[in-house]
Each structure stands twice: as structure tokens, then as C-alpha cells.
Amino acid sequence: MSEYAGIRGTRVKYLASDPTLNTSTEGQVWYNSTSGTLKSLVQIKAWSSGGNMNTARYHIGSTGTQTAGLGMGGYTPGGVNYTATEEYSGYSWTTSGNLATARFSGGALGTQTSALYIGGVSYPPVVYYNNTEEYDGSTWTAGGAYPASASDIEGFGIQTAGVAVGQNTPSNGATNHYNGSTWTSSNPLNTARNAGQAFGIQTAGAYAGGYIAAATNAVEHYNGTSWTSVTNMNIPRYHGGSSKETRTGAIVFSGISTGPSLNSSEEYDGSTWVSSVNSTIARRYSGGAGASSSAALAFAGEGPPTLSSTEEYNSNINAITQAAWASGGTLATSRNRIGGAGTQTAALGFGGSVSPGAGEPTVSTATEEYNGSSWTAGGALGTARYGVKGCGIQTAGLAVGGVINPNALPGATRDTEEYNGSSWTASSDTNNNFYLDGVAGTQTAAVIRSALGGPGNYTEEYNGATWTTVPGTIGTARYAGSFIGTQTAAIYCGGEPPTPAGFLSDTYDGSTFSSAPSMVLQFKRGGGAGSQTDAVVFAPSTASVATQQYNGISWVTSANMASQRNSVADSPAATASAALAAGGGPGVKNNTEEFTGGTEVATASTLTTS
Amino acid sequence: MAHFIYGVATNTGKGFFTVQDRQKFFLRGYPANVWMVGNNTDGAMWLAEKNGVEKTKAEAQALIDAEVQAAQAAWDALPAEQKTDMNPRPTEITLP
């Protein structure tokens, strides 16, 4: 019988507790004497479904990463050649600018914002192309002509240092470099072939598999000048997909070997091929993308039939828990456009409209306190209003603005009230009218902004006693966005008018607004929580179930709410991983939903004999 | 007891099957929106939650056959220059 020490050259460690779990621990086996279990930290590898493409097709061009993928061109039976380009966000595909020339089986390289599409073919009649088109993230423009009119080209590298390799008509291993404007020839593959899987950069590339009268498993490395044969793949394949950006951590998948389309995949570390888990859907002529073997993307292709589906490949040591919304307690009074403050387990809901519709809402003074499971009555607001927004915590909350008289514009109030955990006390008015405008910060250091009632671009700060208009103006004046964070480090999200303001986000540092990345979905009059670099927003006025999260770098969509709603009481003092949405519309709601953010935690597996 | 459950369900995209699903039960997709899932509670619950319609193995095989035959007919209609060894005719798929 094989023994661990004989295989690994070391004994199993005897530990009272699990060691620190990280990539250096991956693959180790130890005995946890406290739990009495044999444990290991192993890679979790799996394919899961991604968003479907808008246009099913095969022989699609592809490049990019799992969260910024790009697919272009393609073909479907009946002689349909595509110019269509789609971008993948990690969640869904969005159509973008079309290629100038409809074709398929061309080569692609680069990123979602700086790509190339090279050569290709269209049918009927069969026409081969030498066109190169350059993509800037929205539009394709003509680039330098490729040295041959050919299809089944593979690309890797970037737009200004790209490599195109292999082609048919006739099959050969021609290799060419692109410098951003023109192509120059380099040394060909040692074994002439085409339709393989290529990845890496111009000075460290790889070409795996391909077709030479049959599928091959041959692999060659490229050093920027010449190709060298290296270790073969396990399974011969061509017309498959691969990750794109590096050859020292790559994965190839899908394609044709013999017989039906493949669902197998292999990981490559730059020297050794290791079989990985099968994808759920077998496909060939598919698109592929990915930065590495840790996160790749397979999309479109032919099963048969012609596919629009996407699968995401992930390999890491973390156990992933998806974000989710769960039901919470019920408000005693159903209300729309209700104010909120506090956290998920110590929140406030106050004011709002208790009658449905936009005609003549009946405004409320009611306040309710939430303890993480149920709502109980709190002290009444001094001024009944709806569209009031809040910040701070349950025992030190702030209510700002809103509308008292819906039949008179401006019917908005400038009233500010402070809550001490049991009752509200009037404070000084804001200098401008605010309605459903997000307020960030605390009871003693808050900030609010909008442009309600005209072209103004008002930002005001509160010091616990008075409001001061500050000079900071936002790049695109708008109102009814969410303001998340502190008085000196906040992010203003979305707003009206919807286009383009609904997609915008801007950071605020206490004096200046700066443009931040665009949101995935339009957003206004919604709820939010978190900080400038870790935010969540939900329940926009379009009464959507959509949730969006920001990590300081980009916005992504997150778990959907159970029911569509808008203008909720939120929890602005909560973290982005523990938010609250209560009441709101359409109509008047009294139910609550609680948001728990997703997690990725390195998790040891218990080894058993079963 | 059969090892697998067969069903038809529309792939709705992101979240249709997750990493956790793939870790809990066997899942494989076939033409015609046919899904073969492990015959256990997790697999059955997944198919039900996806509004799947359970099929017998023979019914599932018939759906796949029809889809493959349609793809083969499309391939047969291609001009001779497109019917290369490199672009093989779609082959029959047999459910395990």
C-alpha cells in the first residue's frame, strides 16, 4: 500500500489546529488532533453557468478575461455571417459596435477595450479575408492588412504587441507580429497546423493542439522570435477555447478531438498539463477568454445546436458563498418613500407615504426601530414627510429633507431632525431643498447633495448643528442618487435624469468630487450601505430586484432581492455585506429584506475513507 | 435505482448552475436543453427549482436525436468545400 511519506517525502503533520490557510498550504495534508480528522487544503475547480449571449453563433472570435470578455463575428447554419460584437461583464453580455466585415474563424487578441480581429472567412460564397480590425472598447476601425487572406488564425498578446499564428488555405504555421499598425512576419510553427489554442504574450506565448489531417496534442512555445516544441497536451484538440493572458497558468477546453464535441479541459503551468473537471456543456468552435487557469470563460460554439450559453471556470482554494437576500421582520405601518438609518441589526425606519400612488400621498411621522428580527414603535418625527433620507445609527440618527405637501412644488421641506434612540429633536434647516437625495455620514458629520428644482448643483455639510453649502460640485449635475460613506470619503451613485446620470458614480473626499467607474445598471432613488470603496445599492425607483456592488475598482451586479421594490428604508451605517431594505413601493410595502454579502474563504477539507 | 434523472430546462444564464451545484451533484448538459443530473436530492431539487420537466431517458434521447439530426441536415446542406475533415459532420450523442 502506498504511504503518504513515500509519495510526498514527508510525514503527515500532527497539529492541534489547522495551519494558516493560503496558497502556500494548498496540497498539504495534516492531522487535526483536536477534531480527530485528517485534513487537506485542496483546489476547488468547477464550471458554472454564466450569462447567455444575445446572439447564438459558432466560429466566434474571442479574447479578454472572465469578467471582461469579448466575442465578435461568427456563423450560424444557413449562411449567416456575423458582424456582432458582445462584451461580457462577468454577469451578462452587452452588444457593442459591429465589425465592419461579417466573417468567422478569424483570430482575436487583446482586451475588452483594446482588441484585434484578424482575417477570417464568410460563406456563401467562400471568401477569405486579410482584414484586420482594431477595437477600442466601443468601435471597430480598420488596421493594417494581414499578410494572407486566411481563416483559422489564432491570436495572443495585446493590440500593440500582438501575435497571429497558424492558418488554413493552405494549412501552415505562419506567425506574424502586429505593432499597432502593421504586420511583420516571424518564424513559423515547427509543425504546420491551424485552429489550435493560443495564449500568452508576444515574448512568452504558446500554441496548443490544432489540426494536421487530424487533431494533434502537440504544443509549442514562442519566445518572440521562434517556436520550440514542448510537452504535449493529454488530449488532442482543435477549434477549442483557452484562457488568453499567460502561458504559466493557462487552461484549454472544448473543441474537437474525434467524435462529438469535447467537454474536457486541461490546465497548464508552463511545463505540465493536468486534466481538470469537465464543463457541463460540450462545445466546439467556441469562444474562450480568461486571465489564467484560475478564472476562464467558454461561450457560444456548437454543441450541436448553435449555442448562446456561457460557462465560467474557477479554480481556487476558497469556498465561495454567494451573496443573498433573506426575509426580515415586518413593519407595523406599510410605507413608501420611507427614510432609513442605522445597521441591519439596529435600524430606523421613519416618515414616508402611507397611501399608494403618486396622487396625494398621506405622509407619516411614524418611526420604527429594528433589532435584526422585528420592528417596534419609536418616537414620532416632528414633521410628517415622505422622500426623507437618513444617516447615522439607531441611537444617533439624522433625518433630512423630504416632501410635506405633494401638491405644491417646491413642496420639499428643509427640516432636519436628530434621533437619540427614543425621540426626534429639530435641528437647523438645510439651505436647499432635498427629496430622496442620499445623505452620507453621521449625526454630527453628514453630507448631502442634489440639483432638485433646477440646474443647481448643491452640496451641503452638517456639523451636528448647522448646514453649510460647500463649493464641491459634481461633474454631471443630478439628483436622487445614493450617497454612501462618510463626510470625507463617500461615493455618490446614480441619479436623475436617467441618461446618462443613472449610470454615473462619483467619489467625494470632503471637498471635491471625482469621477468613478460607471454602474452596471441605471440607479436612482434607491437604498445603499457601506463605504466609498465597498458599497452596495439596491431597490432603485424602477422597482427592480437588482443589487449592485462596488469594490473601489468596479461595479458588479449581485444577488437579486426576492421582490421588486423601490424607495425603501435602508441602513446607511451598515457594511456592504450586511444591509437592510424595508418598506418602499410599488404601492406601500411593510416587508423587510436583509442582504448578506458573498464570501470567499480558504477552507480545509476533511479527508474520509468513503 | 437509476443513477441519473433526465429533464428539460431552459438555461437562463448566470446562476442557472453554480459552483456549489457542480460540487453537490453530477450535472451535464445536452442538445435540446436536456440536462442529466445525479439521482439524489440535490439533483432533483435543482431540476425542480429550474422549472425543469422530467423526462424518461428514452424521451430525452429522442429530443437529443432530433436536435442532432437537424444539425446534421444543416451540415449536409453545406457546399463540398465546407465539408472538410476539419469540419466534421455532427455525430450522434447517446445518453449514458
Helix (H) or strand (E) holding A8: helix A4-8
Chain A residue with minimum CA distance to B80: A126
Which 3 state secondary structure label does DSSP give A5? helix
DSSP symbol at B32: G
Predicted ipTM of the assembly: 0.77
In chain A, % helix, strand, coil (3-state, to 5) comes to: 0, 45, 55
Tell me how far apart the alpha carbons of residues A110 and A195 are, in angstroms, rounded to a whole number: 18
Do the chains contact at B86 and A211, CB–CB below 8 Å? Answer: yes
As a whole number, the mean pLDDT across chain A is 90
Nearest to A153 by CA among A120, A112, A199: A120
Domain ranges within chain B, ordered by starting residue: 4-82
Residue ranges, comma separated, of all CATH 2.120.10.80 domains in chain A are 46-316, 324-599
Reported pTM:
0.66
Chain B residue with minimum CA distance to A122: B82
Q: Is residue A47 less than 8 Å (CB to CB) from chain B? A: yes
Do the chains contact at B93 and A260, CB–CB below 8 Å? Answer: yes
Residue of B36, B49, B67, B86 to mutate for A, most A C-beta atoms under 10 A: B86
| pLDDT tens digits for range A229-249 | 999 999 999 999 999 999 999
> If you average pLDDT over each of A11-15, A170-174, A275-279, B28-32, which comes out highest?
A275-279
Q: What is the pLDDT of residue A29?
A: 81
Residue A610 predicted with pLDDT over 60: no
Let me know how many helices (H) and strands (E) chain A has, helices first.
1, 57
Q: What is the pLDDT of residue A403?
A: 86
The answer to whether residues A558 and A548 touch, using CB atoms and an 8 Å cutoff, is: yes
Q: Which residue type sits at A528?
A: G
Q: What is the pLDDT of residue A525?
A: 86
Q: Is residue A324 less than 8 Å (CB to CB) from chain B? A: no
Report strand pairing: A29-32 vs A13-15: parallel
As a whole number, the mean pLDDT across chain B is 89
- Average pLDDT of span A472-499: 89
- Average pLDDT of span A529-537: 97
Q: Choose the weakest-confidence range: A3-7, A53-57, A194-198.
A: A3-7
Residue A220 predicted with pLDDT over 90: yes
| pLDDT tens digits for range A44-54 | 899 999 999 99
Percent of chain B with pLDDT over 90: 48
- For residue A227, the tally of other CB atoms under 10 A from its CB is 21
Nearest to A448 by CA among A411, A403, A400: A400
Residue A173 predicted with pLDDT over 80: yes
pLDDT band for position A196 (50/70/90)? very high
**What is the least distance, in Å, from the CA of A86 to any CA of chain B?**
15
- What are A391's strand-pairing partners? A398
Q: What is the pLDDT of residue A425?
A: 97
Q: What is the pLDDT of residue A471?
A: 86
Q: What is the pLDDT of residue A371?
A: 96
Q: Which of A48, A124, A195 sits opposite B22 (nearest CB)?
A: A48
Q: Which residues of B touch A168 (CB under 8 A)?
A: 86
Which residues 280-309 in chain A show a CB within 8 A of chain B?
Answer: 280-282, 302-305, 309
| pLDDT tens digits for range A340-382 | 999 999 999 999 988 765 555 788 999 999 999 999 999 999 9
Tell me how far apart the alpha carbons of residues A492 and A476 are, in angstroms, rounded to a whole number: 11
Do the chains contact at A260 and B23, CB–CB below 8 Å? Answer: no
> Which CATH code is given to the segment(s) A46-316?
2.120.10.80
Residue of B8, B10, B12, B22 to mutate for A, most A C-beta atoms under 10 A: B22
Q: Is residue A277 less than 8 Å (CB to CB) from chain B? A: yes
Do the chains contact at A126 and B82, CB–CB below 8 Å? Answer: yes
Backbone phi, psi, residue A559, to 5°: -60, 140
Do the chains contact at A256 and B30, CB–CB below 8 Å? Answer: no
Output A343 or A6, whichever has higher pLDDT. Answer: A343
Residue A452 predicted with pLDDT over 70: no
Residue of A281, A558, A605 to mutate for B, most B C-beta atoms under 10 A: A281
Q: Which residue type sits at A93?
A: W
Q: What is the pLDDT of residue A281?
A: 95
Kindly compute the dihedral angle of the four CA atoms of residues A547, A549, A555, A559, in this order, to the nearest 10 degrees. -40
CATH 3.30.465.10 fits A324-599, yes or no: no
Which 3 state secondary structure label does DSSP give B42? helix
